[in-house]
A = this chain, B = another copy of it.
Amino acid sequence: MQYIKRTILVRSGLLNQLRLNVRWSSSLKIRDKESIQPERSFKSSDLSVRLAAPHQLQPKPDVSALTFGKYFTDHMLKVFYYESLGGWQAPEITPFENLVLHPAAKVLHYAVELFEGMKAYRGIDGKIRIFRPELNMERMNTSAIRSGLPTFNGNELIKCLNRLISIDQEWVPHSEASSLYIRPTLIGIDPTLGVAASDSALLYVILCPVGTYFKNSSKEVGVSLLADPRYTRAWPGGCGDRKMGSNYAPTIHVQREAAEKGLQQVLWLYGYDNQLTEVGTMNIFMFYLNENGERELVTPPLNGLILPGVTRNSILALGRELKQFKVSERKITMDEVHRLILENRLLELFGAGTACIVSPISFIDYAGQGLHIPTLEQPEPIYKMFLKCLSDIQYGYITDHPWALPID
């Protein structure tokens, strides 16, 4: 009881601070020497809607049967871009339907593609909210620049998204274990072979009601990881900090190797000193007792090798606001993890991302050596506190929070 009471007190204090403080929501601070051109954008005021016919409407799956990314709603958003027609065309909401692509479309050969992941939550007050969508828009535009694809005004896409979600609102699950995953995608569709920027593109958004990301785990079990120094996800001078499709295909083979060993995700290492960079599709956090005996939350810095996650950004902001422990962005190496385990100073490791929210890590297979991570054995783990904080904002336990944008 004492534990629960204290946690609630901590949470309420935190939430009050959150209510007052909006300065974190500004930007992921992704640098790019080219700039986004918001003035060359499609406009939400041009949005047209073609509703699905009654016979096209799909049955909604049972909330308990939801797996990640399998069921889709009845409508989708599409915006075409043709350089020769002056750029972005009018956005349209249509019934969910297959895409028709030229066999030479650049997306199919040279991976000219990028995506985003966001979620809409049905709150306890019945209102639907999206979590910090402006950060996803910013990241989507920086991915577009790196891919030679056109940029747009993020606010215009958010307005179109609102309309789409509002049309398919019955698909937002009535459950706090579930949400509506939003997948904006931008692909190059020029019908010509040859590695070059695409003069035509399609931005589309599909929605799917989702449960938990990991099939065989619950938040109470913890994720097991394969850390194999032979594989590298990203490298300096590459695109590891952009949400481009090309960052994912190379991981599938390694992910399968992990699965064959009974492990759930890959812990991506980098460099001669085996730095921890990301875990599967998540950013990674470590909570430990530092040299001075203080509790410290640490995550790798945005050095170009890791994705600037929205959940990562939110956890750092919450942690710094709380002032209960030190918060740092710095390099973490496998040697350090190993030493902290031996010295009983490692408290928690967890992953953070939109799809998985906050996932505790319980085991690492590091080049054949099994490392037990005591995340689940902490009496009051901070990963749970973060999960609860984010949930409370997302599901409307606190109202009018600047991070939760209500759908009209």
Q: Using a CB–CB distance below 8 Å, which chain A residues touch chain B? A: 68-70, 72, 76, 96-104, 107-113, 115, 145-148, 181, 183, 185, 187, 192-197, 204, 206, 208, 213, 229-232, 235-239, 244-253, 255-256, 280-281
Q: What are the nearest 3 A-B pairs in CB distance? A: A69-B193, A232-B237, A111-B245
Which residues of chain B have C-beta atoms less than 8 A from A192's C-beta?
A: 69-70
Interface centre among A230, A251, A281 (most CB of B within 10 A): A251
Contacts of A250 in B (CB 8 A): 146, 238-239, 244, 246
Chain B residues with Cβ below 8 Å from A110 are: 245, 248-249, 252
Tell me whether A195 and B248 are in contact in the complex, defined as CB-CB below 8 angstroms, given that A108-B187, A111-B111 are known contacts. yes
Chain B residues with CB below 8 A from A208, complex form: 104, 193
Docked CA distance A70–B194 (Å)? 9
Q: Determine which residue in A107, A110, A230, A255 has the highest number of CB atoms from chain B within 10 A of its CB, and name it.
A: A110
Chain B residues lying within 8 Å of A115, measured Cβ to Cβ, are 109
Find out whether the CB atom of A112 lies under 8 angstroms from the CB atom of B252.
yes
Contact A103 B99 (CB under 8 A): yes
Closest-CB distance, A139 to chain B (whole angstroms): 15
Out of B96, B104, B113, B195, which one reaches A111, CB within 8 Å? B113
CA of A99 to CA of B113, assembled, Å: 17
Contact indicator A69/B194 (Cβ below 8 Å): yes
- 19 of the cross-chain contacts (CB-CB < 8 Å) are A68-B193, A69-B193, A98-B102, A100-B100, A104-B208, A108-B113, A109-B113, A109-B248, A110-B252, A111-B113, A112-B248, A148-B252, A194-B213, A196-B252, A196-B255, A230-B237, A232-B237, A235-B235, A246-B246
Contacts of A244 in B (CB 8 A): 111, 249-250
Alpha-carbon distance between A230 and B97 when the two chains are bound, in angstroms: 42
Give the distance to chain B from A115, nearest Cβ to Cβ, in Å.
Answer: 5
Which residue of chain B has the shortest Cβ distance to A206 in the bound complex? B103
> Do the beta carbons of B255 and A195 come within 8 Å of each other?
yes
Q: Which residues of B contact A96 (CB under 8 A)?
A: 103
Contacts of A256 in B (CB 8 A): 148, 197
Q: Are B195 and A245 in contact (CB under 8 A)?
A: no
Q: How far apart are the CA atoms of A110 and B248 in the complex, in Å?
A: 5
Contact (Cβ within 8 A) A249 B245? yes
- The residues of B that contact A72 with a CB separation of less than 8 Å are 103-104
Contact among B108, B146, B231, B245 for A237, CB-based, below 8 A: B231
Determine if B193 and A252 form an interchain contact, defined as CB atoms under 8 angstroms apart: no
Q: Name A215's closest neighbour in chain B (CB-CB).
A: B194
Interface centre among A109, A235, A249, A251 (most CB of B within 10 A): A249
Question: Which of A96, A113, A256 has the largest count of B CB atoms less than 10 A from its CB?
Answer: A113
A67 to chain B, nearest CB (A): 8
Q: How far is the CB of A140 from chain B (nearest CB, A)?
A: 13
Question: How far does the Cβ of A14 sit from chain B's closest Cβ, in whole Å?
Answer: 32
